[in-house]
Structure 1
Amino acid sequence: MQRYFIPPEQFGDEQIIIAGEDARHITKVMRGKPGDKIIASNGMGREAVVEITSIEPQEVTAAIVELLPQSGEPWIQVDIAQSLPKGDKMETVIQKCTEIGAVSFIPFLSERTIVQYDERKEGKRVARWVKIAKEAAEQAHRSIIPAVRQPVKWKELLRLFADYDLVCICYEQEQGEQLRDVLQPFASGLDRSRPYRVLIAVGPEGGFGEEEVRAAESAGAKSVGLGRRILRTETAGMAALTCILYETGEMGGA
């Protein structure tokens, strides 16, 4: 069944209302009609099978048939901090990491960020990233829409490290600990009765500077390598996220 995220205020006790682009998608693309069933989610964990009762060009009303248990969400919460890459690479990061299971995205500016940051223009980019996260979450049957924050500066990102149980900064020149070296002991000591928060920090096309890595370590991060191959900036977060979810049992690893 097709899945749609709707604002919580449009998700009632007995019926829901779908408006805007999603309503147009149902009427124009899916050729929906009364009696058709779809899945609706409020993006905060509440979702249901609903049956369309009326269709207007800009609004679709549906009755709740069955509330569904939360599914599709990893029990360990992983955020992706991505230094702003060139072109549309950030769109790829958000789309694919949403499908895999990331909970939120923190774009940031670092020493080697190539993109010329313009706060006025960035608002439009963030709005597009939010839309991409929503569409990817629908496709992957997620119960939530990952949050996309406004871009932050490097020092501000460092201050956020204290909010996490584990922070891994991906550093291609790391000769010591690899991601697996950090994940295996971390995963073995987890208590599933409480949630955990993990942050993956990925540098731009030129990677992190050595001083940035040392600053991150001083703030509590683990500098880790991702194996013998050098990954692109838009690939590193996907690979690290997949490894974390595997080691914590989200992909059959436990």
Structure 2
Amino acid sequence: MQRYFVEKMEQNRFILEGDDRFHIVKVMRMGEGDQIICVGPGGRSAVCKIAEITGETIAADVVKWNDGTTELPIRVAIASGLPKGDKLEWIIQKGTEMGAHKFIPFAAARSVVKLDEKKSGKKAERWQKIAKEAAEQSHRNILPEVLAPVDFRALLTESETYDAKLVAYEEESRAGEASVFSDTLSKMAPGDSLLMIFGPEGGLSEGEVYLLKEHGFKLCGLGPRILRTETAPLYALAAISYHLELMR
């Protein structure tokens, strides 16, 4: 059953518009009486029946509220040093499917792609749309937030609100470090927040690593193999899911 994140609600009726209305009418070819799943701003989902279709909106009435959640037990934010090409789109799409709660692109010292404040807003809109589509496809209860690219100092400020903070650092993998990641997850409780930072293709600079450690980050390895910048966040999310969901 098709799933939609919906901001507008009137009592037990969801109001869909814009791209969602277009998708229902023009792509899915649905009509009055067909059923969809709507997720409200609070993250609760419901089976709904399309009650009315107008030129601007669709009204869908709640048939049954759903219990349970598909979210990870902890809130995981992925901070990625701006990579080349469409790698960030891949990270956002697949990371959303795997349970990430937030994405924070940042300009790293070794990022080939440079921060462009004029274009960052439009990029963030596109990234947010990718996250929305992935969240609907993977039946998420929460729509991940995608920030516009920030500089490194802003990333450090953002990090102050998290319960745990890790940096995936390839030098730790080379040195055989294998405990920090799992130990951190073992100490986390449901509802806690975790920020994980991943460098761009060239990795993080020594200066960036020093500042991250000064701001309470722990360096961790992700196994003996060196992972690409677009692979490492997905590896981490899969490991988090295995540790906190499949092993519980």
Compute the TM-score of the two structures, normalised by the length of structure 2: 0.94
Whether the aligned pair in 2 keeps the contact of 1:24 and 1:58 (CA below 8 Å) is: no
Give CA deviations for 1:226-253 in whole Å, capped at 9, x if unaligned: 2222211111111112212322x22x12
Matches within 5 A, 1:173-212: 173-174=171-172, 175-176=174-175, 178=177, 180-192=178-190, 195-212=191-208
* Aligned-partner residue type, residue 253 of structure 1: M
Structure 1 residue 69: deviation in Å? 2.1
Q: 1:212 to 1:177 in 2, by over 3 A?
A: farther
2:232 is the alignment partner of 1:232: no
Whether the aligned pair in 1 keeps the contact of 2:181 and 2:221 (CA below 8 Å) is: no
Q: In 2, Cα distance between the equivalents of 1:253 and 1:47? A: 26
Matches within 5 A, 1:104-115: 104-115=102-113
Indicate the RMSD between aligned Cα atoms, in angstroms: 1.6
Structure 1 residue 43: deviation in Å? 4.0
Identity %: 45
Give CA deviations for 1:125-184 in whole Å, capped at 9, x if unaligned: 110000001001001100111011121111221233332221111111224473x50233
Compute the TM-score of the two structures, normalised by the length of structure 1: 0.92
Q: In 1, Cα distance between the equivalents of 2:181 and 2:109? A: 27
Structure 1 residue 64: deviation in Å? 1.1
Whether the aligned pair in 2 keeps the contact of 1:47 and 1:68 (CA below 8 Å) is: yes
Structure 1 residue 119: deviation in Å? 0.8
Corresponding residue for 2:2?
A: 2
Matches within 5 A, 1:118-197: 118-174=116-172, 175-176=174-175, 178=177, 180-192=178-190, 195-197=191-193
Whether the aligned pair in 2 keeps the contact of 1:34 and 1:53 (CA below 8 Å) is: yes
Whether the aligned pair in 2 keeps the contact of 1:100 and 1:241 (CA below 8 Å) is: yes
Whether the aligned pair in 2 keeps the contact of 1:23 and 1:57 (CA below 8 Å) is: no
What are the ranges of 5 or more consecutive residues in structure 1 without an aligned counterpart? none
Structure 1 residue 58: deviation in Å? 3.1
Q: 1:183 to 1:231 in 2, by over 3 A?
A: closer
Give CA deviations for 1:21-80 in whole Å, capped at 9, x if unaligned: 111111111110111111001243122111011223432111111112241111211000
Q: In 2, Cα distance between the equivalents of 1:144 and 1:79? A: 13
Whether the aligned pair in 1 keeps the contact of 2:176 and 2:223 (CA below 8 Å) is: no
Whether the aligned pair in 2 keeps the contact of 1:78 and 1:104 (CA below 8 Å) is: yes
Q: In 1, Cα distance between the equivalents of 2:143 and 2:206? A: 34
What are the ranges of 5 or more consecutive residues in structure 2 without an aligned counterpart? none
